[in-house]
Amino acid sequence: MNHPNPIHIRAGDLKPALVGLGKVAHPKATLPVLQCIRVEALSATSAQLTASDLDFHLDVTVPIEAGRKGEPFLLSLAAIRDQIRGFKANDTVYLAPHAKAPSAKEFPEAPSFRATPIPFSEDMSASLLRAFSCASHDTTRYVLQGAFLDISGKGKKAHRIVATDGRQLYSSNSMHLPSLKSSVILPDHPLWKWKRILDSTGQSPWTLRVGSEKDGAVPFRIDAETWRLTGKTIEGNYPNYRQVIPPGSDFKSQVEMSPEVAHAIADLIPKLPGKKLANKPVGLHIEKGLVSLLARESIDEPWQFYPIGPAQVKGPEQVVFANRDYFQRASGFGLTTISLIDPQSPLQFSRKGDLMIVMPVRVGDADSLKRPRKLEPIVSREAGVPKQVVSRPTPSKKQGAKPSSKAPASKSDPMDEVEARIAEANSALATAGKKLKSAKGSLSSARVQRSEDQEELKGFRSLFRSIKKLATGSN
């Protein structure tokens, strides 16, 4: 009979694995066994570390320096973290059975099933992860908390991976899943954001297996080179997402950007003002072949104009606002075609078989922002971009986003004098505001003191009346 055998593992191999395992196991889990990692030496050179939260089971294969195949044992995740705190990458970690740890027999087993493997290409794996980033986090909309693998489409590469939260929708249809018997919903989980999973899309192919309904919820398993994830699909009927996708004939304008311009947009959006505004609006401004963004810090300020780069535009020029998070996500996905209907209708970002539908954001003064001259940009395009605009970095040559302005203004440019006076006025207003705030504070203190004096005076008057009654002998 085999016995649990200790293993020796590099800290540099153990620490990254614990990041993923820690997204499944939790030190504060209700059941003590779910606070643990199962350790099993597979051979003298590799071991398997497993974590479970009952719904998800993660197996990670790691290289080891020494060990022998034997029975698995459990170790507390918190204890392992404490043990390796301060260890350097090449330091050796000694993992051995602990008397106080639960028995390995108590550890929940992942669902066991047989199914036809479905190879996932690099593009399909990337599409699945993109879909998870667009899934809902609303606990009342359970079926939307995952990625929908829809095989209802007919024809070659007509199957889709879809996800939506009601405000954004992602769909990728450049695939064919002949071995999948029916459409399924794979659940979202923080584990999908683990770096090893994100990096593995371009390093090794994935394989998906989906079980049957024999044992209740349909199980699934995804295998990669160094990890395996087993879970249960989401039960329920996914809503008809196709009705959200506008037909091509509805679009009035189409913007074709280069990948460099899309990258520049994704890089700039997090640096724009207005992160705390309701719905986080960012405007897409199209004019004369130039893509620009609009943003502002508060609703009382004018929209600031941020030219990005050139684009091919078909149809009327438009200004449309959307949530900055969704806008950045679509640009980060490399979706370089933007199709527009009008400012009140959904935006469509697309590239090849991938598309993303984003609901627009309505701003109170949108009607006044249809033309650049009404946008009140910080400076005109002829004057260039002033150095003090720190919220918009100058795109690099690598990004390919060329500034839309001409040569910067010379020292004699009258705009410099105007900006200097505006700066002086703003400084004076700020100083006056501080003095007014101080005066208000003094006035408030005076009012409080006056109230306290009045109460004290009332007390003296009452005491005086009592003394007077005693002196006169009156009741």
DSSP 186-199: EEP-GGGG-HHHHH
Q: Where are the beta strands (DSSP E) in 200-359?
A: 206-210, 219-223, 227-232, 253-256, 281-287, 290-295, 304-310, 312-314, 319-323, 337-340, 347-351, 354-358
- For residue 257, which of 338, 340, 171 has the smallest C-alpha distance? 338
CB 221 within 8 A of CB 228: yes
The torsion defined by the Cα of 317, 321, 327 and 330, in degrees rounded to 10, comes to -50
> For the chain, how far is it from start to end, CA to CA, in angstroms?
103
pTM (predicted TM-score):
0.74
What local confidence, expressed as pLDDT, does residue 392 receive?
40
Q: State which H helix or E strand residue 60 sits in.
A: strand 57-63
* 59, 29 Cβ separation under 8 angstroms: no
Work out the number of other CB atoms within 10 angstroms of the CB of residue 162: 24
Measured in degrees and rounded to the nearest 5, phi and psi for residue 58 equal: -115, 125
H or E segment and range at residue 149: strand 146-150
Q: What pLDDT sits at residue 72?
A: 93
Cβ contact 356:168 at 8 Å = yes
Tokens read off for 324: 């900055």
Bridging pattern class, strands 168-175 and 159-164: antiparallel
Q: 68 CB contacts (<8 Å, ≥6 apart)?
A: 5, 41, 44
Predicted pLDDT at 404: 40
If residue 329 lies in a helix (H) or strand (E), which one and from where to where? helix 324-332
Low-confidence ranges of the chain (pLDDT < 70): 1-3, 215-216, 366-475
Backbone angles phi and psi of 226, in degrees to 5: -120, 5
CB contact at 8 A, 58 and 24: yes
Which has the closest alpha carbon to 162: 194, 134, 121? 134
**pLDDT at position 427, please?**
55
Least Cα distance to 327 among 264, 243, 382 occurs for 264
At 437 the three-state DSSP class reads helix
Which domains, from first to last, does the chain contain? Answer: 7-106 (3.10.150.10), 117-241 (3.10.150.10), 246-358 (3.10.150.10)
Pair 45, 68: CB distance under 8 Å? no
**Three-state secondary structure call for residue 121:** coil
Q: Is 54 left (phi over 0), alpha (psi -120 to 50) or beta?
A: left
pLDDT of residue 68: 80
CA-nearest of 188, 146, 196, 221 to 21 is 196
